[in-house]
Amino acid sequence: MTNDRNLVAPSPPPEASWIHIDGDGQRLTEVASEFWKARELLWLLILRHLKIRFAQTAMGAMWVVLQPLTTALIFSVLFGVFVKVPSEGIPYVAYAYPAMVVWSLFSQAFERGSSSLMAEERLITKVYFPRLVIPFAASFSALVDFAISTLLLVPISLFFGIRPGFGVFASVMAIPPIMILATSFGILTSCLSVRYRDLRTAAPFATQIWFYATPVVFPLAVVPQNLRVWVLLNPVSAPVLWFRASFIGTSFPPIWSLASSYGISLVIFSLAVVIFRRVERGMADWL
């Protein structure tokens, strides 16, 4: 005889433990709340990116330093020796390296974020979680590379007779707009490339063009006066100039240019999140 107690249906879980999945009409505050609940997953994905990046490498973190340093040395020969681009009285390697460090942060965060959803195809199609965590984790993993490269700035500056002062603490103001902007474009490119695969090829090409539109390897002084405003409206220009000035004492950009970089980055970020939430509904099917 069957025990009647075994036939009793289990009681449903309390409503507080339910997860409501809704891709339509979410406000940014609701998206932020959902994202905050997944913060541990974000941290785990960042660690996973770092482990994959440095796994089975003989030199490990040295590759992080070599990339911007080698690029700065190459441009030192091209622009400092052959073209003789002015560097505000500072040796060109010391002049170019701080800007290359910031630019590498932007380009790597952008490129890693733009390919993140395609790389996590199996994870997305098997389980639900806030998909926005994926491009965030990919982009923010570039901060570790940035921190390692920044550590080399002090010995390089001292080698060329430059003594960084308390102004180096002002350099942190250049990081938020760079990360917001790079993550925003990573979010946009990653979600749209799920349907339009051409964007995966276009992203590195756009980054190369953007590099030469930013005063990384040349000073703002060589730009014609009537074009300087447009160069400073480039949201990457002011953070690059600000970071360089903080470490080696070159001219700071106008404060309005840094403020506009913050404003433009936040607007693009809000737009990127809205578009991502709309595309997210059919993301698993397109993948």
pTM for the complete prediction?
Answer: 0.81
| Average pLDDT of span 198-213 | 84
Average pLDDT, the chain: 81
Angle between helices 142-151 and 62-75 (to 10 degrees): 70
What per-residue confidence (pLDDT) applies to 26? 56
d(CA 145, CA 143): 5
Tens-digit pLDDT profile for residues 87-142? 888 888 888 889 989 999 999 999 988 888 887 777 777 777 778 888 998 899 89
Residue 110 near residue 179 (C-beta atoms within 8 A):
no
| Average pLDDT of span 224-251 | 92
Q: What Cα–Cα distance (Å) separates residue 225 from each residue in 83, 231, 232, 238, 250?
A: 21, 10, 11, 16, 19
Confidence grade of residue 285 (pLDDT, cut at 50, 70, 90) = low
Residue 190 near residue 114 (C-beta atoms within 8 A):
yes
